[in-house]
A and B are shown apart, each in its own frame.
Chain A
Amino acid sequence: MPEGTAAMFGGHSTNGRVLVVDDETDVRKVVRMTLEKSGYDVIEAEDGEQAIQEINKGENPLMLDCIISDIRMPKINGVEAINYFKQNYPHVPLIVLTGFPDTEMATGFMKQGIVDYLVKPVEKQKLTTAVAKAMEQREINRL
């Protein structure tokens, strides 16, 4: 049985809770599978607007440990969403996961203090390392 299956049935799992924001269902699914295998709990949103709703849905927003977001999405796009998260949830570490291999954009985001700028197709190892780094960051922010 794959690790982290319990996380699928809700509840804050062992390693932390990650919000995945991407407009493509299959991309969200793939990220979810990778992260659940590493024992994370995953919430999905298909755009920035839904992500913001998801965070504010009554559940304690502090329960979120990391946000992984695409940057090209309908409605509220990733750049706008990331600014929103930065302002309203400065303690939640952010990871950008995008199809754009753009160094300039990556540098800009890194300067803003995101944990990592990952380009699709991303290797499992790279993704889980970035999330682990985000979780460390989260621990520090909690102090």
Chain B
Amino acid sequence: MRAMVYRGPYKIRVEEKDRPKIEHPNDAIVKVTRAAICGSDLHLYHGVMTDLRVGHTFGHEFIGIVDEVGSSVQNLKVGDKVMVPFNIYCGTCFFCARGLFSNCHNVNANATAVGGIYGYSHTTGGYDGGQAEYVRVPFADVGPSIIPDDIDDEDALMLTDACSTGYFGAQLADIHEGDTVVVFGAGPVGLYAAKSSWLMGAGRVIVIDHLDYRLEKARTFAHAETYNFVEYDDIVMLMKKLTDNLGADRAIDAVGAEADGNLFMHITGVKLKLQGGSPIALNWAIDSVRKGGTISVMGAYGPVPNAVKYGDALNKGLTIRGNQAPVKRQWPRLMEHIRNGYLKPSDIITHRIPLDEIAEGYHMFSSKLDDCIKTVVVPPSAA
């Protein structure tokens, strides 16, 4: 089968790989019909994630057709069109039994601090991902769902991670009616988080980024008030001025490890990998939110330490919440919002490319060329 493979930092190619096999009775093999490149895939592409092996296939956002099922699979059959959450989880461990699907303890042999994720290095379990023609899906009776007939395929694709993560991020921010919410980052997760903040009754939603075309999308897609931090000497001061010098009630970090805006942090965190990513957005969130406020961290960071301003967070009495989204828990409500016309997740897709052009797709997304926000990848067998 054709599959994207990692060759080293900033280098990927498409090559022939063996089709994955059933390795456990509850496995399924899914023939991928659409995959997407996620902002967090860039942490892999840039070599920021640890235990990232040459030959690894990325891709934790994908949908497809069930091609084969293991002997114990009951809830799916060959031919079903499914959406697959980026979390791999067993459904019965201490964490899954409480709904913490992203924290499953039975699927990641390599680390206990993170659950299993498709195509996201061996630090998240060593599973190849969906930027390929076929993918192994463990615990097929637990993770995947059949895509309802009235849900568009590309909307379903966005629900496998980015949209669900943004929606979950707004929930973690604990938004009350009339709250001012500041979202750092106007990438896919930031756009969905901003949009979701309104669903939860925010009174004002502010989005910060340095890419004007993404801020334009935040205004049109997410109805947000936007600011380009490049135009201000001190973005935290601006947030204070906009909020009567108190600070925003809630902040959402939708940037994570690749943050820009402070040269020292960017070089040490992103270029030299001396930190688990650049914590600029998180530090801005800490300083921009009011005392007693809440910060929701959706941006992904690596496992090594970061220079986070925890002293400010402590002195301000902040609540900082984060987690990988337990994706499937979000689906029923998000599908209601789609059916009600409140949300059209696929509206943020800007590019659709063949799998064989994925190296250029990654460079384009990484370098923010061609006003790229979200790229969908089409395998040759699904073109």
- The judgment on whether A and B are partners is no
A-side residues, CB < 8 A to B, are: none
